[in-house]
Structure 1
Amino acid sequence: MERSRNSTKSVLRSQLECEFARDGIEPLAKQLLEISPTTAETTDLRNPRRVIRAIERVRSGSVDPTYTPSKSTHSPFDHYIVGLMIKRAVLHARIVERLIQWTKMDGNKRSNHFYIRDIRLRITLLVQLVIRK
């Protein structure tokens, strides 16, 4: 059963690809609009691969031609806005304090505490923050 369905799909795809090569995308787009307007709405009708795949799916029965996707405005996920709730001056002071502590560490602690690339980035950012202050 599965093998015959796959061979039917490949025959259908070959036919559609031949139609595209011969006539272009417009007749295929019209065909999709006729057999399933709802699928055509959600398909990029300028993209031959997508149009061919959509026609193939509708004709093979793997998609209901009358199916309309729900366009809910409500997200199915909970989302949160995360941000710092601290005054900028306090944040800068803490950063400078950490920079001072970091410079007082001996070499072994410092190298174990940060990666070299991370250190360069942090120093650059911290120096810029101190200069702006």
Structure 2
Amino acid sequence: MVPSIVLNVVASYIMTKTLISIIGPTAIGKTNLSIKLAQHFNTEIISADSRQFYKEMQIGTAAPTSSELHAAPHHFIHHKSIEENYTVGDFEKDAITTLEHLFQKHDIVIMVGGSGLYVDAVTKGLDDFPKVDSKIRVQLNTILETEGLESLQEQLKKLDPESYRTIAIDNPHRVIRALEVSIGSKKPYSSFLTSKEKPREFETISIGLTADRNIIYDRINQRVDLMVKEGLLEEVKQLLPKKHLNALNTVGYKELFSYLEGEWTLDFAISEIKKNTRRFAKRQLTWFRKNETTLWFDFETDVSSIISKITNELNEKSQS
């Protein structure tokens, strides 16, 4: 007869629902790892990459290929149009609902993505921000139109250096959001990012991939070159009439819009994509390293070693 204590441990392991969150800078190999883990644990993947939500943006977002999508079930890939207003709050609600459904079938689910705010929205919940006068956003949008994004960036740098250092500084929506909270509350936007985490019905194991900076930058440069070869310029041409949409105000698209409108040469636009992507990767790492519980691995680590570490973590959590 099996001792009751053993049955309790086994039952605890079975009932423990775990989200394995794969993070790291762009072009580091997160998609490949997520598929291998999903196949090993016979489970599904949700994407927390905010740019890959949009079906019109395939090449420039390095979204999973059709073969990758068939290698494991994916969620939140190309499920929205750039015409739709889809916020991080919307994603939090949708992702939690999806996880509730997936955890009815699986004890483990994989999440992958480089959008730090979206990852945190799922694992920790969004912070509660104060209500601010809507006129502030109107004024900031006017500054954006008349003086450009750089003016807003400089203002944020003075009011909230921490947010300037960590948010997607090239995204006008994010900059304006941080500024309106900072101005309206008279407190830095970053000061509101410390609230207590919301309770979740699952455990989270955070797996980070990284490499030396020069390797990361070289992989980014190679990826951009591959995007161009695969037809990024043609993709951007099709989207030029909609360049005003917030979803398209992102690296890889805005630079080629400048080329198509005669402001830059193609070579310069491509070099700007590489530079801005490298800056984005630096901010990603700054954001992700705030999580002290993340288990970091070199990007060339054999997947069996990562699986072994995850299995140990699962066993420890089931027995705690």
TM-score range (shorter-chain normalised) is 0.3 to 0.5
Could you tell me the TM-score, scaled by structure 1's length?
0.46
Could you tell me the TM-score, scaled by structure 2's length?
0.21
Higher relative contact order (CA closer than 8 Å, sequence separation 6+)? 2
Bigger Rg, structure 1 or 2:
1
Higher helix share: 1
